């Protein structure tokens, strides 16, 4: 039965990961209905997210490859500039330093790196609280409502602009990274928070969605390595381990089929529609919590 439950969780994850409605919140609510606890921390959730991350990598492999190349070249340029600085100090010369951030891909890569700093800090600090919140039948409902309010305010405010990566600033990347870090709690949608933050900073909807998707990858990988220690827990039986890996594969497989349509929906659908869904999800979750 646990295998069937994990397959259903994988489908929930794949469908809700690419729209701003908190896949983590949906997983927690479903787990409570299925009677699945968090004796192994958030390992199962991290694995399911890793599965859908594979779908993102598959879809954007060319862009991700280019970003990886630019990150490597930026790192080499930094090393070269350090050596050049030492050389100038020793010789008294004034040789020119290489410019680190040049071109759209390098700027995009730099923005991703900057955004991850607050995300990592908040994720590490709040990891234990996230487990407690995941076990709560009350917090996911509140998280859904908070997500709905932010989406509705952003939509009614008609936020958004025409700015893209070239016009993006590093302080706004830091702000968006903070919003991603806050989404470690169930019900609070990572995609909703990051997209709304980008729109409120004047960025275009297309860039906001794209940046949100790309910045999720290091966060997901980092979360997995934070939780991977639970593979050695006594509660993680061999059967549960194989079932979790199988569910991760299912999440990635389903994600490959739905990612394009889900991202297109996120780009074109009014945010208020996602807000209304979040309000309903939050109300139902809280009602079930009080009834049961």
**pLDDT, tens only, 176-209:** 999 999 888 889 999 999 999 999 998 999 999 9
Q: Regarding predicted confidence, which is higher, 175 or 2?
A: 175
Q: What is the mean pLDDT of residues 162-183?
A: 88
14 pLDDT band, cuts 50/70/90, is very high
pLDDT average, residue stretch 47-72: 92
Using an 8 Å Cβ cutoff, are 225 and 207 in contact?
no
> At residue 262, does pLDDT exceed 70?
yes
Cβ burial 183-209 (10 Å sphere, 16+ → b, else e): bbbbbbbbbbbbbbbbbbbebbbebbb
pTM over cut 0.75: yes
Percentage of the chain exceeding pLDDT 70: 97
Measured CA to CA, the distance from residue 39 to residue 188 in angstroms comes to 22
pLDDT of residue 163: 84
Closest to 220 (Cα-Cα) out of 11, 105, 110, 57? 57
* Amino acid 230: pLDDT: 73
Q: Chain-wide mean pLDDT for the chain?
A: 88
Instruction: List the end-to-end C-alpha distance of the chain, in Å, as a whole number.
Output: 23
Q: How far apart are CA 289 and CA 285, in angstroms?
A: 6
151: number of CA atoms within 13 Å, CB side? 27
For residue 203, the SS3 value is strand
């Amino acid at each position: 039965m646990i295998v069937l439950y994990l397959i259903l969780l994988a489908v929930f994850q794949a469908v809700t990961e690419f729209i701003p409605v908190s896949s983590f919140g949906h997983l927690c609510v479903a787990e409570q209905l299925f009677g699945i606890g968090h004796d192994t921390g958030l390992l199962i959730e991290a694995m399911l997210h890793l599965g859908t991350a594979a779908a993102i990598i598959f879809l954007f492999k060319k862009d991700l490859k280019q970003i990886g190349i630019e990150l490597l070249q930026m790192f080499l340029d930094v090393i070269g500039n350090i050596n050049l600085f030492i050389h100038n100090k020793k010789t008294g010369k004034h040789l020119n330093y290489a410019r680190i951030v040049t071109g759209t891909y390098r700027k995009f890569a730099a923005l991703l790196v900057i955004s991850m700093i607050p995300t990592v800090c908040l994720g590490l600090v709040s990891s234990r609280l996230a487990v407690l919140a995941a076990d709560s039948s009350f917090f996911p409902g509140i998280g859904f409502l908070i997500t709905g309010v932010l989406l509705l305010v952003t939509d009614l405010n008609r936020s958004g602009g025409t700015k893209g990566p070239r016009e993006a600033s590093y302080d706004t990347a830091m702000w968006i990274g903070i919003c991603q870090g806050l989404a470690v709690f169930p019900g609070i949608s990572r995609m909703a928070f990051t997209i709304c933050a980008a729109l409120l900073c004047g960025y275009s909807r297309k860039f906001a969605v794209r940046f949100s998707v790309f910045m999720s990858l290091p966060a997901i990988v980092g979360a997995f390595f934070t939780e991977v220690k639970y593979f050695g827990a006594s509660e993680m039986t061999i059967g549960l381990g194989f079932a979790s890996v199988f569910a991760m594969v299912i999440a990635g497989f389903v994600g490959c089929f739905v990612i394009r349509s889900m991202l297109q929906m996120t780009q074109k659908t009014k945010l208020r529609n996602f807000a209304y869904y979040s309000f309903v999800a939050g109300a139902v979750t809280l009602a079930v919590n009080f009834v049961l």
